[in-house]
Amino acid sequence: MSRRLAAAALALLCAGCSDIGSPSRADIYEWRSAQGGDTLSFHWPQSFLPVRIWAEDQHGLPAYADSSIAAWKPAFLYHEWDAVRVADSSEADVIVRYGSPPAGDDILLERFALDGRAPECQATTLPHVDDAREVHLPMHVYITARFAPDLPATQACLALTLTHEIGHTLGIFAHSSHPEDIMYGDPMVPKPSERDRNTAEVLYHTPANVSPAPRP
Amino acid sequence: MRTPILLVGLLALAPAARLAAQTDYYLRAGATGWGTLVHDFIAADVDTKASIGPLVAVGLGHSIAPRYRAGVELTLSSSALRTEYGSVTTDLGSARTGSALAFLDGGVSGGLRWQAGLGFLHYFAGAAGGLLEESATRLLVGGGLDYRRPLLAAWDLTVAARYDFHRFNTPALKAHGFSGGQGVQRVSLAIGLARGHR
Ligand SMILES: [Zn+2]
């Protein structure tokens, strides 16, 4: 019997050595921003987490900010990114306002919902990157409806577009070429796709050359 | 697979063989160390590990032959979970487990006994959005050595060294596309009191 037990222990020891089968994360898109021959790659360091997001109480933006955070969180199996909504804009790392961006801002990323058939809303994310490759905080996101903001179609546009912009703020500084991704230039889907999630996760495991400036 | 099945059969039949046998029981406390829970690769190695954490164990043993005993051991443990990649370490909350192991043990010499068993390891549900957002139960195989020496009139001092392993996977990992299971090895050391026949 002791021989059998020894054999069983040995067999189980060997079985215990093998690794779990990891998913393939090969299906991703370019997330870095190419600016005048320079490539900018950004993600939030662990010391900044959770990222603090404030949303202006206009046309349901706070609820859409919550749903945007909830939509992106599952991408980060290992808690590489996290965010919370805060009640005071003076404590925020990301400020979401209803309206158009003020003129003269250094616009690094811009998305306009130019789909002629459904031009319900538009938004802009402004991560101001200085020469020292630091992102000034807070980042600003401006989102606005093109027509009546309380129409169901406009509300749906605000919700998915804010999820798209939160994707920019977490470090996806480019657009997907796939319409089924939330980070497509003119997003049409309500939440991040598997490719969006893969891209977000991979970018947090890739060295960044832009970091957030110290919190004010 | 044949050997574990034989072991289960033996454990199931053994208590019936000697209904009049003597019983003893024990309570131990100690610590468990874990091997890697998930080995992943995203641009570089990503390893999720559990810290050394406390455990409590209670057990009941029944003599089934002059040299052999069969019994059941229940344990609870808790460890902090973290993921490491590059120079980054992220906090994933805690892994709280409970296990039930049916075992067979036998004398080696003096107060030393070997033990081998088969059972289940249950991961209690943890924080939302984590690896353990939902509970998971895995097959557990373990063994080790127990040392026992008289301490008081009816109580013995007992020290146990254990090794066990299971294949780790959870609904959250499966939802992320993981397949199979990570072989996880654990070792523990515990000390306590035992009461019963000597
Ligand atoms: Zn965009």
A8 part of contact set with chain B, CB < 8 Å: yes
pLDDT of B20: 39
Q: How far apart are CA B188 and CA A198, in angstroms?
A: 37
Assigned domain for B93 exists:
yes
Assigned domain for B2 exists:
no
Mutate to test the interface with A, among B87, B88, B163, B176 (most CBs of A within 10 A): B176
Question: Which CATH number covers residue A160?
Answer: 3.40.390.10
Q: For residue A200, what is the nearest residue in chain B, using CA coordinates?
A: B42
Does residue B19 sit in helix, strand or coil?
Answer: coil
pLDDT average, residue stretch A65-69: 97
Does residue A178 sit in helix, strand or coil?
Answer: coil
Assigned domain for B59 exists:
yes
Contact between B169 and A20 using a beta-carbon 8 Å cutoff: yes
Q: How far apart are CA B48 and CA A43, in angstroms?
A: 21
More confident position, B196 or A48: A48
For chain B, what is the mean pLDDT?
Answer: 88
Identify the weakest region by mean pLDDT among A66-70, A104-108, B166-170: A104-108
pLDDT average, residue stretch A27-45: 89
Check whether the bond before A101 is cis (ω within 30° of 0). Answer: no
Residue B73: is its pLDDT beyond 90?
yes
The C-alpha of A68 sits at a distance from chain B's nearest C-alpha, in angstroms, of 14
Contact between B43 and A205 using a beta-carbon 8 Å cutoff: yes
Contact between B130 and A23 using a beta-carbon 8 Å cutoff: no
Burial classification of residue A207, based on how many CB atoms lie within 10 Å of its CB (0-12 exposed, 13-18 middle, 19 or more buried): exposed
Residue A115: is its pLDDT beyond 50?
no
Residue B145: is its pLDDT beyond 60?
yes
Contact between A205 and B172 using a beta-carbon 8 Å cutoff: no
State the pLDDT confidence band at A8, using cuts at 50, 70 and 90.
low
Q: How many beta-carbon contacts under 8 Å exist across A and B?
A: 92
Question: Which CATH number covers residue B163?
Answer: 2.40.160.20
Q: How far apart are CA B115 and CA B11, in angstroms?
A: 12
Identify the weakest region by mean pLDDT among A38-47, A78-87, B75-84, B127-136: B127-136
Chain A residue numbers with beta carbons less than 8 Å from the beta carbon of B35 are 16
End-to-end C-alpha distance for chain B, whole angstroms: 35
State the pLDDT confidence band at B190, using cuts at 50, 70 and 90.
very high
Is the torsion defined by CA of B103, B106, B112, B114 positive or negative? negative
Q: Which of B68, B60, B91, B94 is nearest to B10 (CA)?
A: B68
Cβ atoms of B43 and B53 closer than 8 Å: no
Residue A125: is its pLDDT beyond 70?
yes
Q: How far apart are CA A193 and CA A176, in angstroms?
A: 11
Residue A215: is its pLDDT beyond 90?
no
Assigned domain for A16 exists:
no
Q: How far apart are CA A127 and CA A136, in angstroms?
A: 7
The proportion of chain A whose per-residue pLDDT surpasses 90, expressed as a percent, equals 57
pLDDT of A17: 62
User: Model confidence over B90-112: pLDDT tens digits?
Assistant: 999 999 999 999 999 999 988 89
Distances (CA, A) of B54 to A22, B76, B94, B187: 30, 8, 12, 12
Residue A43: is its pLDDT beyond 60?
yes
Assigned domain for A145 exists:
yes
Question: What ipTM score was computed for the predicted complex, to two decimals?
Answer: 0.80
Q: Which of A11, A25, A79 sits opposite B91 (nearest CB)?
A: A79
State the pLDDT confidence band at A161, using cuts at 50, 70 and 90.
very high
Between strands B112-123 and B88-109, the pairing is: antiparallel
Q: For residue A16, what is the nearest residue in chain B, using CA coordinates?
A: B183
Assigned domain for B38 exists:
yes
Assigned domain for A14 exists:
no
Structure tokens at B123: 């991961």
pLDDT of A7: 61
User: Model confidence over B116-141: pLDDT tens digits?
Assistant: 999 999 999 988 778 898 999 999 99
Q: How far apart are CA B143 and CA B97, in angstroms?
A: 18
Q: For residue A22, what is the nearest residue in chain B, using CA coordinates?
A: B178
Q: Name B148's Cβ contacts closer than 8 Å, sequence gap at least 6.
A: B111, B113, B156, B157, B158, B159, B194, B198
Residues 50-79 of B with CB under 8 A from A: none
Instruction: Compute the C-alpha angle B181/A21/A83, nearest 5°.
Output: 95
Identify the weakest region by mean pLDDT among A90-104, A110-124, A163-177, B163-177: A110-124
User: Model confidence over A132-142: pLDDT tens digits?
Assistant: 889 989 999 99
Cα of A186 from ligand 1 centre, angstroms: 8
Assigned domain for A140 exists:
yes
DSSP β-bridge partners for residue B129: none
pLDDT average, residue stretch A103-131: 63
Phi and psi dihedrals of B185, rounded to 5?
-105, 140
pLDDT average, residue stretch A86-102: 93
Contact between A78 and B92 using a beta-carbon 8 Å cutoff: yes
Assigned domain for B145 exists:
yes
A74 part of contact set with chain B, CB < 8 Å: yes
pLDDT average, residue stretch A33-53: 90
State the pLDDT confidence band at A11, using cuts at 50, 70 and 90.
low
Residue A196: is its pLDDT beyond 90?
yes
B1 part of contact set with chain A, CB < 8 Å: no
B84 part of contact set with chain A, CB < 8 Å: no
Residue B14: is its pLDDT beyond 60?
no
Chain A residue numbers with beta carbons less than 8 Å from the beta carbon of B4 are 8, 12
State the pLDDT confidence band at A180, using cuts at 50, 70 and 90.
very high
pLDDT average, residue stretch A185-196: 93
Does residue B6 sit in helix, strand or coil?
Answer: helix
More confident position, A101 or B11: A101
Cβ atoms of B145 and B114 closer than 8 Å: yes
Assigned domain for B71 exists:
yes
pTM for the predicted model, two decimal places: 0.83
Domain total of chain A: 1
Full residue range of the structural domain in which residue B105 is found: 23-196
Residue B21: is its pLDDT beyond 90?
no
Residues 109-138 of B with CB under 8 A from A: 116, 129-131
Assigned domain for A54 exists:
yes
Domain total of chain B: 1
Assigned domain for A43 exists:
yes
Mutate to test the interface with A, among B7, B42, B165 (most CBs of A within 10 A): B42
For chain A, what is the mean pLDDT?
Answer: 86
pLDDT of B6: 44
Contact between B89 and A11 using a beta-carbon 8 Å cutoff: no
